[in-house]
Amino acid sequence: MSDTLVLTYNLFDLPTAQHKAGLAGLLIMIESMKRREIGPLPVIQEKSDYSAKISFTKESMQAVFDDLFDAEWIEVKVGNKWQGKKPKRIEETVVVRDGKNKKEKRFIYDAFQPKGLFLQTFYPDDNGAWIQIWRDMLWNVLRAQPKTRDVYEERAKNKQSSLSKKAFDSISSTLGKSSKGKFIPEGFAGSVYIGAQNVNAEKVSFSGDPINNFLLHFWHIASFIYMPRSFSLKRSIEKGISVKWENYGYVLAIPEPSDLEGFIEDTLDILEGLRTDTVGKRPKDAIIDLMEEGGLEYLYQFSKCKFENSAATDSINAVDLYHIEKRGNNVRMLSSERLIADSAVLKEYERMRRTIFNPLFKKIYLRNLLLNNRWYDCSDDVVGVYPCELFSYRTGRSPVRFPFFGRDVKKKFRAIIEDLKRMGGGEKMKEENRDNQLSVRIYDLIKQYVRMKAQSKSGLDFRGFEKDNKGRTIYPKQYREALEKVCSDAFLSMRGRRDQDFVEYFTGTICSVPQYCSKDDFILVSQLLIDHWERVKTLSMLAISAHSYLPLPQPEKQEGE
């Protein structure tokens, strides 16, 4: 039994991403303790791109565990009494329910919470929204069962962490036995390894080398936490469709570093550069609309470091994603996925993240991006399910505090048009970008149909509309209403048609107005109608959505605003 443990780790020998992230998290924690002048510190004897050798004394391991599980007492206000506990005091507060003020009781209790000073060292908002989402994740995912929080409670009571001695002795014993050719695996719990159980359904226990298990205490330091949100719709005669947002669970993005030193450097830059904007009490950048977005956002941050910092490297191979939610007293894993750091995907995601805000279009676009499909594939799974007003804009009916689907679609169509212009003409360009050309041709056909029909219904020629001082068209109410009606009628007519029925509608309705297209374009669309009518239908419905929304004139800002 030695007084000093020397632990040697190699990224390629560690079994999972959680172990590899744990090694990075341990080194980040040591750096944080160094900056805060907390000791005694473990000694990093060697560190390279792929490995690290760290020596621990009993005192330095105690310092690490004490800081890792450090906690503090705070007062919390709750609406219901805690079972078996007497409140510290009771207060009354006024809340607004159904437009009326109502007095309600609040019960005050003392509770402990993790400090997370090792993360506050790097967060730009210190003890702000980013550390709070980390605390909430611990209490709702990793430490959801009260018994697993004992390690924090003993630190809140100013006791030393009892885990330090257990870990030191276990590792010391393992090192002694391994030198004699013996090895006894040690179990680990779900509080340190996602998905772990004492024994799974196949009667297989979760266990591993105690030296590697030690790293599982630190992976959450190097990981990012996201909060996926969902929405529900409520329809009323007075307000049309209203949207209610709700967060559900947490998405944990656990990295698999490929370059240890580069990864740590990049991670510290990312943590220190996090934006502090909030939505409610949550970091704005932590809110996502689907699980895959969390992984792409995480990988994007590392790719951004690479391009902004010439010294940065490809420091990450992939990221493991886990969507976990606490339901009642149980913690459930809703889904999991692994995303590889693909430069082409990240480049396209970078362009998308600045322009797409509608959660439904984001769902279509991101999943097609990850599957290497056409950007509009499987759109019917979305546009065929939700109310028409979410896709074809109707004033007073479409939700106002909800990014409109068609605005994001129009940005995508315009991006395709710009890409084709930059590439220029020629037969080679036409062959390689046949699908993009098709998208633009259908976009233009729908545009011409919508404009001509709206002009006919309103009696107003859009070419004569006035413009504001910034060159934006001012659309009269009569024309706007006519265009919205034309689009919603066409959208619903297409949505309910299939096969030959759709082909006849497209040729008999969309092509019933004068259309200006070349012979090549005519052949392209005609051939696709015969061979792949469903692609024409999908692009047509997306184009209708893009053209259904006419921006309202923005009021001029007064001096001093």
Among the residue ranges 27-31, 239-243, 302-306, 535-539, the one predicted with the least confidence is: 302-306
Q: In the structure, what pLDDT confidence band is assigned to residue 433 with cuts at 50, 70 and 90? A: confident
The span from the CA of 295 to the CA of 337, in Å, is 9
Which has more pLDDT, 532 or 433?
532
Task: Write out the DSSP string of 298-367.
Answer: HHHHHHHHHHH-TT----EEEEEEEEEEEETTEEEEEEEEEEE--HHHHHHHHHHHTT---HHHHHHHHH
pLDDT digits (tens, 9 = 90+) for 117-133: 999 999 999 999 999 99
pLDDT digits (tens, 9 = 90+) for 35-59: 999 989 999 999 999 999 999 999 9
List of E strands, 363-458: none
pTM, two decimal places: 0.88
Task: Give the pLDDT score at 425.
Answer: 54
- Name the DSSP letter for residue 80: S
Among 501, 4, 44, smallest CA distance to 260 is for 44
Q: In the structure, what pLDDT confidence band is assigned to residue 483 with cuts at 50, 70 and 90? A: very high
The span from the CA of 454 to the CA of 9, in Å, is 69
Task: Give the pLDDT score at 309.
Answer: 54
pLDDT digits (tens, 9 = 90+) for 358-393: 999 999 999 999 999 999 999 999 999 999 999 999
Task: Give the pLDDT score at 272.
Answer: 93
